[in-house]
Amino acid sequence: MPNRLLRLAAIPVLAWAAVSFAADDYDDHVAESNGLRVVHAWARATTGPEALVFADIVNDSGADVLLQGGASGLAASVELVGFELRDGEPAYTPLPAIPVRNRREVVLAPNGLALRLNGLAETLVEGDEIEITIVFDVGPVDVHVEVGASDAAGHSHAGHAH
């Protein structure tokens, strides 16, 4: 909790810092294509063959689009999944494409939507940065994904104004 308060307090400072220094860093935190912006993509360090990728997807393309899934050289497949409690146990179920309405945002986050990397070629290590492609009906967006701690709750820069 104190951590979160600190983060809140840090927002104005970091926002300024982001604007002044992070111009080259910006590319890694935001991917943009066809008016679709993918912000703060992140994943947790893993030990098994699966990983979940989370991000904020903002649709400024001027039309509704469909989020279909993804692809990555690191994984055998990338699919859109949604969280469910199954008999009290958390589980992620594959989903078909979901709409992202124009001028709206879809949040991929723990206990919600995510892109699941199946059949990872190697484990994800904290501090790594991996690349995946998020596929929409209007075309793909290449995204840098930051790998956080195995118990991370969000992107390390979540709260920044990008």
Tell me which residues touch other proteins (CB under 8 A): 48-49, 82-85, 87-90, 93, 95-101, 104-107, 111-113
Q: How far is the CB of 119 from other proteins (least distance, A)?
A: 9
Q: How far is the CB of 161 from other proteins (least distance, A)?
A: 19
Three-class HEC string of the chain:
CHHHHHHHHHHHHHHHHHHHHCHHHHHHHEEEECCEEEEEEEEECCCCCCEEEEEEEEECCCCCEEEEEEECCCEEEEEEEEEEEECCEEEEEECCCEEECCCCEEEECCCCEEEEEEEECCCCCCCCEEEEEEEECCEEEEEEEEEECCCCCCCCCCCCCC
Q: How far apart are CA 107 and CA 38, in angstroms?
A: 10
Residue whose CB is less far from other proteins, 18 or 39? 39
Residue whose CB is less far from other proteins, 82 or 154? 82
Q: How far is the CB of 112 from other proteins (least distance, A)?
A: 6
Residue whose CB is less far from other proteins, 62 or 99? 99
Q: How far is the CB of 13 from other proteins (least distance, A)?
A: 27
Q: How many residues does the chain have?
A: 162
Residue whose CB is less far from other proteins, 111 or 150? 111
Residue whose CB is less far from other proteins, 93 or 142? 93
Q: How far is the CB of 6 from other proteins (least distance, A)?
A: 20
